[in-house]
Structures are given as C-alpha cells and as structure tokens.
Amino acid sequence: MAGIIGRTMATAKLSNLNKFLVGSRVSASRTYSSAAKEMTVRDALNSALDEEMSADPKVFVMGEEVGEYQGAYKITKGLLDKYGPERVLDTPITEAGFTGIGVGAAYYGLKPIIEFMTFNFSMQAIDHIINSAAKSNYMSAGQISVPIVFRGPNGAAAGVGAQHSQCYAAWYGACPGLKVLAPYSSEDARGLLKAAIRDPDPVVFLENELLYGESFPVSAEALDSSFSLPIGKAKAKREGKDVTITAFSKMVGYALKAAEILDKEGISAEVINLRSIRPLDRPAINASVRKTNRLVTVEEGFPQHGVGAEICASVVEESFEYLDAPVERITGADVPMPYAANLERLAVPQIEDIVRAAK
C-alpha cells in the first residue's frame, strides 16, 4: 500500500514525505508480507512471459535455446513444459531467418517474441528488425502492423569481450517505427514486457544480463496479471533539486548509488529512470532540468550519437535558458570492449564517474 502512495507522489515536490514513506515502506514490508515481495528480474520476466502466453494463444516465443535448454539465461524456464513445442520454438542458428519468420507471422496477427541470445546477434537480423518490421506499418500505410517483440540481453556483461558487449539502445532508438524499452527493476521488467507483448507495434526490449539475478521489491499491484506500464514515460526514481541524472537499465542502479554519495555531501540529485528510449520522455526530462538546472546523462553505450547525445540536444533545444552549466555525458569508453577485467572496468561508467560529473 505504502508503495503505491509513494509512487503517485513521485512527481510532487514532497521529498521529505517521500523519505518518510520510503522508510515506512521498508517497515511495512516486514509487517505486511503481501505488500512488498522481492523478485529477481529473471523471475519477473519469466512470469510476464508466462502470463501473457496464457492470456493470448497467439503469443509464442522463438529463439535459440529457449525451449529444452530453458533459455540461455533461463528467462524462458518452464515455458516449454507448459505450452508445448509449438509455442516455444527452438530454432537453428539462423538469426536472419527466424527473425524474418517472426516478422512474417506478425504480419498475420500472431504475436511473436523473438529472443536474441544477446542483442549483438541481432546485427545479423537487423535488416528484418528495421526494414521489414519497423517500416512496414508506414510502407503499407497502416494496413499491416507488426505486433512483435525482440528481446534479449543488451550491453556489457562481465568479461565477455568486444563482440558480446555492445549497447544497442542508440542504434535502435534512432529508427522510426520501433519502440525501444530498457527496464531496470523487476517491476519495470514485468510492466514493460507485458506492455510490449500487448503492443501492436514492433518493440525492441533491451534487458541486461547482470540485472537478471538482482532482486527488487515488487508491489502487489505489479504482481497482478493485467499490470502493465505505459511506453514512453520515464520515472523519477529519486527526487532532488540540484542536479538531474538520467539513466537506463543497469546504470540506474549506479546513478542511485551515486545519488546517495552525493547526498552525503549535500548535493541533492534527481535520478530519472528513462524506461523508454523510443519514444523518449522528453517532457519529463525537460521538466526535471527546469527544476534542477543541471543535467548529467549516464549510459553504457558508445559516446558518439548515443542516447545521452539525444537527451542533451533535446534539453538544449527546449530548456536552454534553464541550464546553469553544460550538460555532462557519462558514457562507455569510445573503444570496443576490452577483455581484461581492469580495462573493462575503465571502459564502463562507474559510480565515481557519475559523482565526479555531478559535482
């Protein structure tokens, strides 16, 4: 209960009340065990898939190792047993082929969920994601819509090297006709995946491998099977008034921790979880910047033409007079991901980087 009140108050300037409610939510979770369960992102995704597949027989999952192997990252665990091999399809290693098959099926109103083992492999199928899925509604003038979801882990994992670590938010976010979502918490994962599956348009759903095992509290409302989050709306995860930090996916966690560190030094940071890369929630970002007058964007991907660049341009175009200082972008290093652990640490944004930029 307290969790729900906390969220609706998020946009109000009641940071004190919020702190009280956060505290009370924690205590509530001890007394009312039904109010705030913990759920890993993996379970959240699995439950979302399960519920959507049972609600609509047109939903099916296709990808490598989604069936008998229970999912390369165990996201699709148990689905094969429950729904059978006609709805949970193990494919050969043919990204271009099975992505195209999914698009063709979506043309006819089935709702495929295409899993890429990582989004790096989607590059072999990017022609179908962009040319035959994203552009089809436009090219056919609305006759053929493509209710497909492309999902999989995106961005860097631990020590997997250059060809398995790229972040694709910026590339897919540039393409009209696609919706691009990047959840952070379990609740985000559940709500956004459900919204994506129900959506009549192609959705690129960027998960993060390192977040799969992390637990987050989920409210009772989020556990309901009709729960879904709106697309194109960001969420302020933490209220502040000195600087705005925008982030998505794993970087939200880092930003929150950086915000706590900054808080001890008297800098109150507002952390915005973007949730949706396309459509980008420009009104929310601009409103926040107008309040705090400073902006730091955080992302894991390459700096040039990244998500941060787009946010920076948007803020400069719309809220220029409100900015007290230039926008700072924290991004991954402008190099392919190195393998050595210490180099990898240098190539990905860390909490200290965010703190330093905010100051």
Partner 1 sequence: MATSFFTAKVLPLNSTRSADKPLLGQVLLPSSFLGSSAHKLSLNNAFSLQSQRRSNAVVAVSDVVKDNKSKSKSSISNLLITKEEGLELYEDMVLGRAFEDMCAQMYYRGKMFGFVHLYNGQEAVSTGFIKLLKKEDSVVSTYRDHVHALSKGVPARQVMSELFGKTTGCCRGQGGSMHMFSKEHNVLGGFAFIGEGIPVATGAAFTSKYRREVLKEADCDHVTLAFFGDGTCNNGQFYECLNMAALWKLPIIFVVENNLWAIGMSHLRSTSDPEIWKKGPAFGMPGVHVDGMDVLKVREVAKEAVGRARRGEGPTLVECETYRFRGHSLADPDELRDPAEKNHYATRDPITALKKYMFENNLVNEAELKVIDKKIDELVEESVEFADASPVPARNQLLENVFADPRGFGIGPDGRYRCEDPKFTEGTAQV
**Which member of 51, 164, 300, 310 is catalytic?**
164
Nearer to partner 1, 229 or 354 (CB): 229
105 binds partner 1 (CB under 8 A): yes
| Sites for partner 1 among residues 141-160 (CB under 8 A) | 141-145, 147
Both tokens of 159, joined, read 């020590």
**Which member of 95, 115, 207, 209 is catalytic?**
95
Minimum distance from residue 335 beta carbon to partner 1 (Å): 30
Which string of x and - marks every residue 216-245 that binds partner 1 (by CB under 8 A)?
A: --------x-xxxxxxxx-x----------
The question of whether 164 is a catalytic residue gets the answer yes
Minimum distance from residue 287 beta carbon to partner 1 (Å): 11
Distance, in Å, from the CA atom of 62 to the CA atom of 71, rounded to the nearest integer, reads 11
Q: Which residue has the tokens 């890993």?
A: 40
Nearer to partner 1, 98 or 254 (CB): 98
Minimum distance from residue 70 beta carbon to partner 1 (Å): 17
Distance, in Å, from the CA atom of 239 to the CA atom of 58, rounded to the nearest integer, reads 41
Nearer to partner 1, 63 or 349 (CB): 63
Which string of x and - marks every residue 6-35 that binds partner 1 (by CB under 8 A)?
A: -xx--x------------------------
Question: What is the size of the binding site for partner 1 (CB under 8 A)?
Answer: 64
Instruction: Give the one residue of 27, 34, 94, 163 binding partner 1; rule: CB under 8 A.
Output: 94
Minimum distance from residue 144 beta carbon to partner 1 (Å): 6
Nearer to partner 1, 85 or 159 (CB): 85
Residues found near partner 1 in the complex (CB under 8 A): 4, 7-8, 11, 57-58, 60, 85-87, 89, 91-92, 94, 96-110, 127-128, 131-132, 136-145, 147, 176-177, 179, 195-196, 198-201, 224, 226-233, 235, 279
